[in-house]
């Protein structure tokens, strides 16, 4: 079957371009033009939607700023996120430009998204030809879930881009070694999921009986594979004194926030999250495309299939072990699935022209595209996406305006303790008020929790003299600011506090 119908995926003239005058243009040139256009559109989107980093990224900025000022970062903050060493290093770099560092962090995430699209194209092209690569890149561009994460500065985008490029470079030159290990190490300093990929790649490079490596090479590659876990553990040990602090704090916070699931629930979430990110037609196309690729090109499909299986395994294993189970942790596997869906849509380009199978495949692919388009038309809301991004900007800018208002600044000089509804606005406030110590910005939800533990000290500090921020209007119903688990009484101004500032999204009370 393979010898009779398959054609090579690499010649630049191959692909799905049917117009004769365009057929002579190499696929590589089209790819460069598309990449340039994508960079321009990304910059336009960056300036059109001036969003700010999300929770984890803001803490990376804060901890990076601490390092920049030669201060030891404090990972033991109230409901603090897991520290990510590479993100903290990038945060330190962004902090050099001051308050503009927040926007620079978002730009880094958007640049990672552009790199991700380019990496997925290259991965698809190397494995299955330029048409499949182009379809895979377009599928990534059409995943608004992923674009939304990039626009809000999520670290996951950079992590997935590094994994995809490591996979593509390995396919381009099998057992490439150091470059792939370096990319996986960088990914492993953003998410520990990549540690498993580094271990598997080490086995692939040195443990295959038909390609034995000498002991020196094995040890050198083992050192490269261990870079990320050793550095991560080292950072935890230096900052907290506990080498396994990230592991323990992550599982503890997941249980506190109710993000843990049993094994069967994690398996169910794997499917539901894949559908949420990729949408049902694409998930079904991915399953079909994977089966077709295994049947038609078993050697080409091996590496991306192993990467996909590894990412799904890590997601399930971490969730079953007590880590947080949230949709964006599935994004790596969901992106690799797009390559297999691209096989279902564009894999006909691997067959010889004029064959009946090629014509039937093209017709089936057209039906799948129509199904996906109809599904997107009924579920996708660009207005909702724009509203989400606008709120993200408005809430941050509104908080900055409130905290920089003359009345609030005057009160903060008299009593510098600032209280917020919960932990979610703390990194924003710390970034905006870089002159105020982190222990002078607290969450009222923490005070309520301390009371249940018979520790009223924080509540007493707030009542004895502080400035309190209360979300208003739409902000009350947006989970990014007010959590459904918050005590409603934390949203009621305390007796003796007087309002000193009001805007569309915030009211500020003070008792100094």
Average pLDDT over residues 158-170: 97
Residue 6 has pLDDT above 90, yes or no: no
pLDDT of residue 105: 95
Cβ–Cβ < 8 Å for 216, 206: no
pLDDT per residue as tens digits for the range 112-126: 999 999 999 999 999
Burial class (CB in 10 A: 0-12, 13-18, 19+), 177: middle
Q: Which of 84-88, 263-267, 501-505 has the lowest mean pLDDT?
A: 263-267
Instruction: Give the rounded percent of residues in the chain with a pLDDT score beyond 70.
Output: 88
**Coil, strand or helix at 16:** coil
Taking the C-alpha atoms of residue 331 and residue 327, their distance in angstroms, rounded to an integer, is 7
Strands 498-502 and 441-443 turn out to be: unpaired
Spatial CA neighbour of 415 closest among 497, 317, 505: 497
Spatial CA neighbour of 276 closest among 322, 202, 338, 328: 328
Which pairs from 27-30 meet CB under 8 Å and 24+ separation?
27/125, 27/130, 27/134, 30/130, 30/134
pLDDT band for 385, please (50, 70, 90 cuts).
Answer: low
Q: b or e along 437-458 (b: 16 or more beta carbons within 10 Å of the residue's beta carbon)?
A: ebebbbbbbbbbbeeeeeeeeb
Taking the C-alpha atoms of residue 412 and residue 501, their distance in angstroms, rounded to an integer, is 13
End-to-end CA distance of the chain: 81
pLDDT per residue as tens digits for the range 357-384: 889 999 988 898 888 888 776 666 666 6
Taking the C-alpha atoms of residue 179 and residue 268, their distance in angstroms, rounded to an integer, is 36
For residue 441, what are its two tokens?
Answer: 């910005």
Distance of CA 430 to the CA centre of its chain: 23
Taking the C-alpha atoms of residue 343 and residue 300, their distance in angstroms, rounded to an integer, is 12
pLDDT band for 50, please (50, 70, 90 cuts).
Answer: confident
> Is the pLDDT higher at 321 or at 201?
201
pLDDT of residue 257: 64
pLDDT of residue 431: 93
pLDDT band for 497, please (50, 70, 90 cuts).
Answer: very high
pLDDT band for 20, please (50, 70, 90 cuts).
Answer: low
pTM here?
Answer: 0.90
pLDDT band for 393, please (50, 70, 90 cuts).
Answer: confident
């Amino acid at each position: 079957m393979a010898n009779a119908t398959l054609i090579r995926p690499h010649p630049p003239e191959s692909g799905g371009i049917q117009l004769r005058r365009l057929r002579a243009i190499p696929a590589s040139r089209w790819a460069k033009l598309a990449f340039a256009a994508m960079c321009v559109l990304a910059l336009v989107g960056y300036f059109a939607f001036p969003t700010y980093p999300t929770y984890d990224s803001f803490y990376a900025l804060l901890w990076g700023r601490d390092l920049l000022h030669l201060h030891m970062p404090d990972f033991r903050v109230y409901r603090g996120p897991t520290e990510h060493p590479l993100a903290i290093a990038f945060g330190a770099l962004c902090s050099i430009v001051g308050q503009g560092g927040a926007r620079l962090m978002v730009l880094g995430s958007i640049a990672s998204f552009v790199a991700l699209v380019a990496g997925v194209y290259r991965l698809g092209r190397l494995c299955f030809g330029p048409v499949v690569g182009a379809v895979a890149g377009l599928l990534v561009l059409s995943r608004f879930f992923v674009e939304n994460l990039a626009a809000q500065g999520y670290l996951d985008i950079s992590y997935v881009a590094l994994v995809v490029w490591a996979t593509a470079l390995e396919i381009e030159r099998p057992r490439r070694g150091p470059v792939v290990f370096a990319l996986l190490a960088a990914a492993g300093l953003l998410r520990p999921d990549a540690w498993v990929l580094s271990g598997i790649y080490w086995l692939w490079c040195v443990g295959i009986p038909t390609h034995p490596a000498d002991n020196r090479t094995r040890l050198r590659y083992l050192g490269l594979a261990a870079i990320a876990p050793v550095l991560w553990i080292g950072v935890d040990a230096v900052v907290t004194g506990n080498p396994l602090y990230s592991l323990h704090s992550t599982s503890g916070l997941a249980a506190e926030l109710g993000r843990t699931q049993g094994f069967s629930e994690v398996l169910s979430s794997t499917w539901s999250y894949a559908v949420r990110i990729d949408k049902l037609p694409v998930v079904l196309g991915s399953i079909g495309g994977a089966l077709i690729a295994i049947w038609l090109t078993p050697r080409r499909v091996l590496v991306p299939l192993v990467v996909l299986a590894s990412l799904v395994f890590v997601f399930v294993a971490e969730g079953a072990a007590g880590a947080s189970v949230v949709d964006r942790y599935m994004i790596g596997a969901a992106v690799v699935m797009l390559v297999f869906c691209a096989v279902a849509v564009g894999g006909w380009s691997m067959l010889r022209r004029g064959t009946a199978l090629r014509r039937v495949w093209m017709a089936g692919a057209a039906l799948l595209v129509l199904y996906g388009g109809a599904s997107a038309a009924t579920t996708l809301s660009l207005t909702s996406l724009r509203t989400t991004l606008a709120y993200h900007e408005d809430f941050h800018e509104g908080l900055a305006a409130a905290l920089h208002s003359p009345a609030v600044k005057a009160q903060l000089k008299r009593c510098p303790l600032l209280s917020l509804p919960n932990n979610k606005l703390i990194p924003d406030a710390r970034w905006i008020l870089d002159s105020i110590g982190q222990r002078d910005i607290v969450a009222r939800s923490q005070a309520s929790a301390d009371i249940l533990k018979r520790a009223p000290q924080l509540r007493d500090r707030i009542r004895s003299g502080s400035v309190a921020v209360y979300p208003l209007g739409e902000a009350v119903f947006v989970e990014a600011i007010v959590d459904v688990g918050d005590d409603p009484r934390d949203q009621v101004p305390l007796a003796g506090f007087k309002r000193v500032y009001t805007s569309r999204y915030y009211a500020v009370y003070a008792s100094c």
